[in-house]
Structure formats: C-alpha cells, structure tokens
Homo-oligomer: A and B are copies of this chain.
Amino acid sequence: MTDTTRSLSQEPLLLADLSSPETRDLLPRIELVLLPVGAHEQHGPNIAVSTDTISADALCRAAAARVGPAVAVAPVVPWGVSWHHLRFAGTIALRPSTLIAVLEDVIGSLHAHGLRRFLVVNGHGGNTAAITTAIEQIKHDTGVPLIASVFGYALIAEQAKILLPAEAIGHGGGDEAALVMAVEPHRAKPTAFAPPRPTGVQVETAALLRAYGGSLARRYDEVTHNGVTGDATSASPKIGQLILDGAARRLAEIIEVVLREADAAEKAQANVNGRGR
C-alpha cells in the first residue's frame, strides 16, 4: 500500500505527460489507473456541451493529486452514450457498443503493459450501462485483478447538496455549473442561466421505475423543454471549487479503501495458493 497523506498542491500523475521509458519505469509503482469518461451533450443554455468531460477529468486529477503518484490518470474519453440528447443541437452520441469497444481497447492496452487495477470515473449517467457491461466483459475476458466504476456525478451532487439549495441539483443545474465555473470558466454561461422548464410528463412513472431498479427509456426533450433539470442561478466559482475539493477528498478516501482491500484480497489469495501447493 502506498502512503496517501500528501500535500494537496502536488501535480497528478497523467499518463499523457509521460514518455514511453518514463511509463515503463513507473509501471511497478502505479497501483491504480483512473479512467475518466465524459460526454459531449447539451446542458441547456447554462454550460458547455463538454461539462461531463470537464467534471470527470477534473475529479480524477484532483483525487490523483491527493493520493499521489500511486494513482495515474488516463486521457479522458470526451464523448459518451447521449442518444437521448440528440434533438438538442451540438450533442455527440456514441453507440453503447462503441463506448464498450473504446473501454476494452484502452484498458486492454494498459493491462497488457502490466497495469492491474482500474477505476472508471464516469461523468455522465447515460454511460452507466455501457461502462458496467464493459468492465464486466473485461473482467471475464482478461481476469484483470481489479476493475470497477464510480459515478463521479454522485460524488459531486453529494457535496452540492450541502452547499446549494435543493432546486439547484440536476442536469445542467447549479451543481454542474458551479464546477465548470471553477475549472473552465469560459465554458459556463452565467448571463444565459435559466431555470429548468420541465415537461411534467411521466414524472411518477420514471420515479417509480427508478425506485424499483429499472428505468424509462426516453429522449431528454420528453423530460425538459430547455434541456435542464436543475437551477443554475445560485452557482459560483467559489462553490464550484468547494464541490470539487469535497468530491475529490471523498474519491481519494474511496480509492484508499479500494487499494487497501485489494492488497488484502491478493495477500489472502496468495496464502490460499501457497497452502494449495
């Protein structure tokens, strides 16, 4: 296990920064690869289409900076499964099979170099099913020791609920807008901030099915007229930074649990194998 009590100001270890020999030399010390997956989809008038890419990437970098160089960050996947937003201009949507193939190739390549633990940090809810399918497929096909996912937005919303009014939370809402203001200010559009305009259609259906582990497949224009379900007007860069710091701290804590338990599991497995001989 690596020591994770480090200064917050250190730079995260980015795979894209390294030359090949530098990567080779660091491989034995990298205990976890974070793979951020974003989206390129409408978030109404409030923030840029790159919002989920920004938030997944920023969260990984901030958490990796906290944990230190035992955790490396792979290049962010800049689009995701966003078919339901395609009627709003600018959205780019991957087919689920395309995102699965990308994850198989990226993680498969890194695994071939000897990296053995992977955490996908997902910035967009629409990616969840494809990511789950991909990591299970990779686990089954390659036997990689650890592959897992976490929904980065859940970490962000947890912090935002403390710092912002309830109506701010939601797609394109104050939680996401604040984070963009903090990280990539020119991609927030405060002069255009608008309250959500929900359609009011099938609200109970969607909530009931979600409560019972299911979902209602629908386009986002069936949900909201302006593409937004949260109110961005209370967002500020300062709140965004607090959200990011809190979410990254929580993600770093999770990573410590992941690594500690993975070490324990491998030690236990080694004992079993030793006895078996």
The count of residues in chain A whose C-beta lies closer than 8 Å to any C-beta of chain B is 105
Known: A18-B49, A19-B46, A43-B19. A148 touches B216 (CB 8 A): yes
Q: Are B40 and A148 in contact (CB under 8 A)?
A: no
Q: Which residues of B contact A50 (CB under 8 A)?
A: 16-17, 75
Bound form: Cα–Cα A21–B206 in Å: 27
Smallest beta-carbon distance A223→chain B, Å: 11
Binds B, one of A60-68, A101-109, A162-170, A233-241: A101-109
Known: A21-B45, A105-B98. A150 touches B16 (CB 8 A): no
Taken residue by residue from 29 to 58, chain A's Cβ proximity to chain B (1 for < 8 Å, 0 otherwise) reads as 000000000001011111111100100000
Instruction: Verify if A270 is at the interface (C-beta below 8 Å from B).
Output: no
Q: Which residues of B contact A42 (CB under 8 A)?
A: 19-20
Q: Are B261 and A20 in contact (CB under 8 A)?
A: no
Taken residue by residue from 193 to 228, chain A's Cβ proximity to chain B (1 for < 8 Å, 0 otherwise) reads as 000000001111100110111111111001000010
Q: Which residues of B contact A161 (CB under 8 A)?
A: none
Q: Are B88 and A20 in contact (CB under 8 A)?
A: yes
Instruction: Verify if A155 is at the interface (C-beta below 8 Å from B).
Output: yes
Smallest beta-carbon distance A61→chain B, Å: 14
Known: A44-B19, A49-B20. A217 touches B150 (CB 8 A): no
Bound form: Cα–Cα A107–B79 in Å: 12
Bound form: Cα–Cα A97–B102 in Å: 10
Q: Which residues of B contact A125 (CB under 8 A)?
A: 213
Instruction: Verify if A1 is at the interface (C-beta below 8 Å from B).
Output: no
Q: Are B217 and A53 in contact (CB under 8 A)?
A: no
Instruction: Verify if A275 is at the interface (C-beta below 8 Å from B).
Output: no
Bound form: Cα–Cα A86–B125 in Å: 29
Which of B17, B135, B262 is within 8 Å of A187, CB to CB?
Answer: B17
Q: Are A148 and B15 in contact (CB under 8 A)?
A: no
Q: Which residues of B contact A212 (CB under 8 A)?
A: 150-151, 154-155, 158, 254
A residues whose Cβ falls under 8 Å from a Cβ of B: 15-24, 27, 40, 42-50, 53, 74-76, 78-79, 81, 83-84, 86, 88-98, 101-102, 104-106, 109-110, 112-113, 120, 122, 125, 128-130, 132-133, 135-140, 146-151, 153-155, 158, 186-187, 189, 192, 201-205, 208-209, 211-219, 222, 227, 254, 257-258, 261-262, 264-265, 268
User: Closest 5 A-B residue pairs measured CB to CB?
Assistant: A151-B213, A23-B90, A20-B42, A24-B89, A150-B214
